[in-house]
Amino acid sequence: MSPSKLHWLHRNEPETFRRIATVLLPHDWLTFRLTGRRTTDRGDASGTGYWSPRQGRYRNDLLELVTDDIDWDAALPEVLAPDAIAGEWRGAGIPVAAGTGDNMAAALGLGLRPGDLALSLGTSGTAFTVSPDAPGDPTGTVAGFADATGRFLPLVCTMNATKVTDTVARLLGVDHARFDSLALEASAGAGGLVLVPHLDGERTPNRPAATGMLTGFRNDATPSQLARAAVEGVVCNLLAGAEALGPGCAHGRVFLIGGAARSLAYRRVVADLTGRAVLVPNDDELVAAGAAVQAAAIHHGRDFSRIADAWELGRGETVEPDDGVDRVAIRAAYADAVAGAAP
């Protein structure tokens, strides 16, 4: 629960707020039900906004902005080390791992290493990597999460991803399969059509009141070009955000995950616009796989990456980029369209 939600509860439901004994995230509550211990982990704790990954401690000064009437030290769960056991499943004697957040577990499921880049495209989009160093971004574009292994998980999030291509498919009157085919029929660059996919505002870049924009629209435009422009716009938008992660993930592996990973058009455009081979994992349940990696590593006292490699997680189909695509020109045209869009 973020400080803003705690503040809302304090302001709007003071009686309920006064009954607070412990503040637990959903997976922390499940751990509590299993073990009787009030614990959390670095990954999920770093998403609260009041635990600092860089400093490795709770920021009680932020929580005291909500109220100083609570003993926050007593109300907050213990943050466990990555290799710690939260306790035993009461009555069963089974060790329970610390657990973690969804993106942190997905990174474990991929066997993500420093230098790798994960692109997740669903309704919204995320780009993340793992790093031995705590990220510092004064603009706020990069969320400086902790990962589940003792490292850090810099992440960028966009609001508009597959819901944009779903909208264009609806306007074209086609289903997902036909939309995919249309996008692949058009040549890279969509004949000059550029779609800025900020349909309902956007958080990266910070354009909360923005709407979408289509440029380069000519009389000879085709449905396939519009489909291709929609996919390219979504991918360009996420890649522009991913640049804020820095050069550290410019030369490692590129993973494409999320619902769009099943789309041949998205696979092709991601490979072409990154100019790098893109790995689409076979496993659709990467968060569950990551939880299994964490449990196995802790139970056997082995390194997380060695467990992931032994299980051959993160393996799948590789899509090579088309060297004939002028990715620089396509991404520059997109950047120009964003710069010319209304704020």
DSSP letter (8 states) at residue 113:
-
Check 44, 61, 68, 102 and give the catalytic one.
102
As a whole number of angstroms, the distance between CA 142 and CA 96 comes to 31
Is 102 an annotated catalytic residue? yes
3-state class of 296 per DSSP? helix
DSSP letter (8 states) at residue 263:
-
Three-class SS string for 159-213? CCCHHHHHHHHHHHCCCHHHHHHHHHHCCCCHHHCEEECCECEECCCCECCCCCE
> In the chain, at which residue ranges do the beta strands (DSSP E only) sit?
39-41, 51-52, 57-58, 78-80, 85-89, 94-97, 117-121, 125-128, 143-146, 152-158, 194-196, 213-215, 254-257, 278-281, 316-319
Among 228, 212, 49, CA closest to 145: 49
* DSSP letter for each residue of 266-288: HHHHHHHHHTS-EEEES-S-HHH
Using alpha carbons only, what angle is made at residue 163 by residues 203 and 25, rounded to the nearest 5 degrees?
60
As a whole number of angstroms, the distance between CA 101 and CA 279 comes to 23
The residue type of 111 is G
Residue 136, phi then psi, degrees to nearest 5: -135, 115
Contact criterion met (CB below 8 Å) for 120 and 106: yes
Return the active site residues.
102
